[in-house]
Amino acid sequence: MTKIPDLPERFGGGTVAKRKRPPNKKKSNLDNLKWEIADALDLDDDLAQGGDELTVREAGKIGGNMVKKLVEKGKEALKQEESGSE
């Protein structure tokens, strides 16, 4: 927990939990997709620095494009499933 100075008790007393990431060294498919899209948007250098230099808009572009790709892949999978069951 990190202490935030001068935060009233009603807001948690000035402590916030730091998000701990699992020690998984292997990149997930979503992580690979994120890097692929960041590279296409020429934002991979900022992402490589931990993402701290990304603006909200840039991060949103990466996330939005990830969602678009995932929806496309889902639609393709449904089409294949439907055509395979006929």
For residues 41 and 49, what is the distance between their CA atoms, to the nearest angstrom?
A: 16
pTM greater than the 0.75 cutoff: no
Please report, to the nearest 10 degrees, the dihedral formed by the alpha carbons of residues 40, 74, 26, 56 taken in order: 50
- Grade residue 70 by pLDDT with cuts at 50, 70 and 90: very high
Percent of the chain beyond pLDDT 70?
A: 67
Q: Which amino acid is at 71?
A: V
pLDDT tens across 11-44, in order? 555 555 555 555 555 678 999 999 999 999 999 9
The pLDDT score that the predictor gives to residue 41 is 95
What residue ranges do the domains of the chain occupy? 27-86
CA 27 to each of CA 10, 13, 30, 45: distance values in angstroms, whole numbers, following the listed order = 39, 36, 8, 18
Exposure pattern of 46-57 as b/e (b: 16+ CB <10 Å)?
bbeeeeeebeee
